[in-house]
Amino acid sequence: RKRNPHEVEFHQAVEEVVESVMPWYLDHKEYHREQILERTTEPDRIIIFRVCWETDSGDVRANRAWRVQFNHALGPYKGGLRFHPSVTQSVLKFLGFEQIFKNSLTGLPMGGAKGGSNFNPKGKSSREVMRFCQSMMVELSRHIGEDVDVPAGDIGVGAREISYLFGQYMRLENRWSGVLTGKGQTFGGSAVRTEATGYGCVYFCEHMLNQHGEGIAGKTVAISGSGNVATYAAEKAIEKGAKVLTLSDSDGFIEVKGGLSMEQLQFVKDLKENRRGRISEVADTFAGVTYHADATPWGVACDIAMPCATQNEMDDHDAKTLVNNGVIAVCEGANMPLTNHAAGVLAKNNVLHAPGKASNAGGVAVSGLEQSQNAMRISWDRDEVDTRLQKIMTSIHSRCVEHGEHNGRVNYVTGANIAGFKKVADAMLAYGVV
């Protein structure tokens, strides 16, 4: 804390990992002696830069951008870019730190990184977003490359932003390379990348339920968010026979007592991806949908909660409400959506809890598959990628069970942290003091 003052999100992420790996870590003197844990909490480097751009009316704006290259023991740096006014160095350090272990869990050769800017794409025209992306890439291009660091999307960075960034990289470098993932499918993007995080989260959730004698069909699910992760988690959950009761955005949530229909979900996707509207519009358009302003979905009784919006969106009070309403599983689509106190409440009440680094790893896994396809200059079809995604989620689940099972019940937080950490630690040991 002294070394990183005021970085509360980063402290929180480190504390969560350290608490769960410590007993196991202390049993392994070789890691201890070489200070592996201390070394993994210090990023390899952080690049900070100014991004100047021009509004449609000719005014000049300046934002700050970062790339946190955290650890490349397992492969080239990999992790998304986030555009949101709440982005700070602390937020990107927590995300980059988590990314190291998440990428390790996928079994693919990827290191951990994260980047982004406090630029707010909301309310900006597409041309303004384009000018921002182009300006950001002028500096970012000096630090990335297909074998060095391969950024992707995150909050506020979807297909449109990735395309602008990629176009500018090609212009600057005068060559085509798989330097970003999440590209359009006509120019090197992978099938199923858009769906991968949400789908993967539901695949993981199903394994977790099956492991404990439950299934997903017929279960009620409360989902937060209405962006990339939330909408595709909802889609897969509905496909598997679950009833999705809620979706949200930063202004409030919608409740659909009978369960969200595919038609309503399609409306939400168009609303958010193309029209960039507010979730309240769903209630204005469909009967049987109620809108709750300034509230989160955690007061709605459900079997499964899937927080898919942002960090710290569920606190201990929300977790207690969910427990009192009989929740059996919380499966994280977002990164660190629970405060550490909320996670404590779930653990105390024996609620199954999948941490994001395991349950939302499907997105980066398919990004890894996109890199492989780009390197081989081939593209796999939807079935091929979806089959590989399912295999990866099954293997992440097995690794959590291997390291987290105790008396027939799995602690997924411990399992994911130890399994993810061990592989990175072994690579760092092998490299010596570097």
Interacting residues with ligand NDP (CB under 6 A): 86, 153-156, 197, 225-230, 249-250, 308-310, 313, 333-335, 360, 363
Q: Binding residue per annotation — 408? A: no
Q: Which is nearer to ligand NDP, 36 or 304 (CB)?
A: 304
Question: Residue 267: exposed, middle, or buried by beta-carbon count in 10 A (0-12, 13-18, 19+)?
Answer: middle
Q: Binding residue per annotation — 102? A: yes
Q: Binding residue per annotation — 118? A: no
Q: Binding residue per annotation — 153? A: yes
Distances (CA, A) of 156 to 82, 84, 139: 6, 6, 19
Q: Which is nearer to ligand NDP, 192 or 242 (CB)?
A: 192
Q: Which is nearer to ligand NDP, 169 or 232 (CB)?
A: 232
C-alpha 417, offset from chain centre: 16
Minimum Å distance from CB 374 to ligand NDP? 17
Minimum Å distance from CB 213 to ligand NDP? 28
Q: Is the distance from CB of 86 to CB of 156 less than 8 angstroms?
A: no
Q: Which is nearer to ligand NDP, 3 or 275 (CB)?
A: 275
Q: Binding residue per annotation — 115? A: no
Q: What's the residue count for the chain?
A: 434
Minimum Å distance from CB 409 to ligand NDP? 26
Question: Residue 247: exposed, middle, or buried by beta-carbon count in 10 A (0-12, 13-18, 19+)?
Answer: buried
Q: Respond yes or no: is residue 391 known to be catalytic.
A: no
Judging by DSSP bridges, how do beta strands 45-54 and 60-71 pair with one another?
A: antiparallel
Report, in angstroms and rounded to the nearest whole number, the Rg of the chain calculated over CA atoms.
21
Minimum Å distance from CB 252 to ligand NDP? 9
**DSSP, res 190:** P
Of 93, 114, 183, 423, the active-site residue reads: 114
Distances (CA, A) of 314 to 91, 220, 288, 294, 340: 17, 18, 26, 14, 10
Among all residues, which ones are annotated catalytic? 114
